[in-house]
Amino acid sequence: MVFYDDYVRLCNNVNKAPSAIAEELGLSRASVNGWKHGKIPYDSTLSKIADYFGVSIDYLKGNEQEKTPTLSNKDERDIARDLEAIMADLDKGGALMFDGDPMTDEAKESIKAAMKLGLQAAKQKSKDRFTPNKFRKD
């Protein structure tokens, strides 16, 4: 079921149902059902699926980890700029409260760190989703 789990995750990444993508690739629903029950597709089918999602056949077979896009220096600067703007807006809105008490500097730093992680994850997902295959570095 490893193949099917990876296939479903890749389908979810593009917000499409597994059967819809199979249909786009000219594959039957019976094929998808077989994968769900542990069957592995032929190499020709794996090739179609790999091309569609921009991954390798080895990845689909479970022999390779998915590569997450790295953030460039520009991306990091953009995240820092956005984070400072968000924090400035929060500070400008008045005293930040937590359970009715003003937030400590330590609590603000914790919020800032959490938002930075969220912005980095969003940027990576965006790069993964919207970078055309011809510009991806494998």
DSSP result, 26-90 = T--HHHHHHHHTT----HHHHHHHHHHHT--HHHHTTSSPPPPPPPPHHHHHHHHHHHHHHHHHH
CB count, 10 Å around CB of 53?
A: 20
**131 and 77 part of one domain:** yes
User: For 97-124, how does the pLDDT look when each residue is reduced to its tens digit (9 = 90+)?
Assistant: 777 788 788 888 888 889 998 998 888 8
**53 and 32 part of one domain:** yes
Confidence of residue 131 (pLDDT cuts 50, 70, 90): low
**79 and 56 part of one domain:** no
**54 and 7 part of one domain:** yes
Q: Which helix (H) or strand (E) holds 97?
A: strand 97-98
**77 and 127 part of one domain:** yes
Range of the domain at 10: 2-60
Q: What's the rounded mean pLDDT across residues 66-89?
A: 83
Does 38 map to a domain? yes
**31 and 85 part of one domain:** no
User: For 11-53, how does the pLDDT look when each residue is reduced to its tens digit (9 = 90+)?
Assistant: 888 888 999 999 999 999 899 999 999 898 998 999 999 888 8
**55 and 83 part of one domain:** no
Does 68 map to a domain? no
pLDDT attached to residue 23: 92
- Please give the model's pTM, rounded to 2 decimal places: 0.48
Computed over every residue of the chain, the mean pLDDT equals 83
Does 50 map to a domain? yes
Q: Which helix (H) or strand (E) holds 21?
A: helix 18-24
**77 and 129 part of one domain:** yes
With 90 as the cut, is the pLDDT of residue 130 above it? no
pLDDT attached to residue 77: 92
* Tally of structural domains, the chain: 2
Helix (H, G, I), strand (E, B) or coil at 131: coil
pLDDT attached to residue 107: 83
User: For 42-77, how does the pLDDT look when each residue is reduced to its tens digit (9 = 90+)?
Assistant: 989 999 998 888 888 888 887 766 556 677 888 889
